[in-house]
Amino acid sequence: MLYLWPCFFAIATLLTAIGRQPLAEMKLIQYNPLSAATLDRQEQIAHELPNADLIALIGTAQRTAPGDRDITQIKLTDRYSRISWGWAPSRYVNKSAGITFLIKHSLATAVRQVLRPPDELRGRLAGIRIRNTTKDLLVLAAYIPPRGTPPTTRKQQQTSSTGFTNNF
């Protein structure tokens, strides 16, 4: 089984720097809040983790508005910007899906690309590319159902893992 969350932290230790801040000193957090569908809840999480440079929230249960294919980007607090991939009904996504990145404003200015997963995996996969003149960082997050789940969910796991490697 592919466990992706440790990869999130490994990226930070392998690369050297974005801007002036060495990645080894950056605070990157991945957290499953079980639900963070409202902006108030996301603000609360940002308030509780004020020293984090980037917080990846997986399993937010935040739904995309019907017919909306865009990824939302807004200023969340005086300290963080927010990029969100809400879930939309599809064969491989349930209402627990959804990924949000809370990014410190100082780091958000270096975001050069927001990766768009296939529609059928929306809310399960997310990524951003942070780049300056000398360094390049790809931050990925995935929300994959846990092991020991029913066969339909196992199929979702396999599809998510394949989609992750093929699309990012």
Question: For residue range 22-32, what is the model confidence (pLDDT) as tens digits?
Answer: 555 778 899 99
Q: What is the CATH number of the domain that holds 105?
A: 3.60.10.10
List, in order, residues 6 or more apart from 81 with CB less than 8 Å away. 73, 74, 75, 102, 103, 104, 105, 108
> What is the pLDDT, as a whole number, of residue 9?
40
> What is the pLDDT, as a whole number, of residue 18?
47
Domain span holding position 77: 5-167
> What is the pLDDT, as a whole number, of residue 68?
64
User: Model's pTM, two decimal places?
Assistant: 0.74
Q: Are strands 80-85 and 99-104 parallel, antiparallel or unpaired?
A: antiparallel
CB atoms within 10 A of CB 91: 10
> What is the pLDDT, as a whole number, of residue 55?
94
> What is the pLDDT, as a whole number, of residue 109?
85
Q: Looking at the 3D structure of the chain, how many domains does it have?
A: 1
Which residues of the chain, if any, have pLDDT below 70? Answer: 1-24, 66-70, 145-168
Closest to 69 measured CA to CA, from 119, 11, 141 = 119
Closest to 89 measured CA to CA, from 60, 121, 116, 135 = 121
Within the chain, strands assigned E span 17-18, 21-22, 28-31, 54-58, 72-75, 80-85, 99-104, 111-115, 125-131, 136-142
Q: Which residue has the tokens 């509780």?
A: 48
List, in order, residues 6 or more apart from 106 with CB less than 8 Å away. 19, 53
> What is the pLDDT, as a whole number, of residue 99?
93
Q: Would you give the distance in Å from CA 79 to the centre of its chain?
A: 18
DSSP state of 148: S
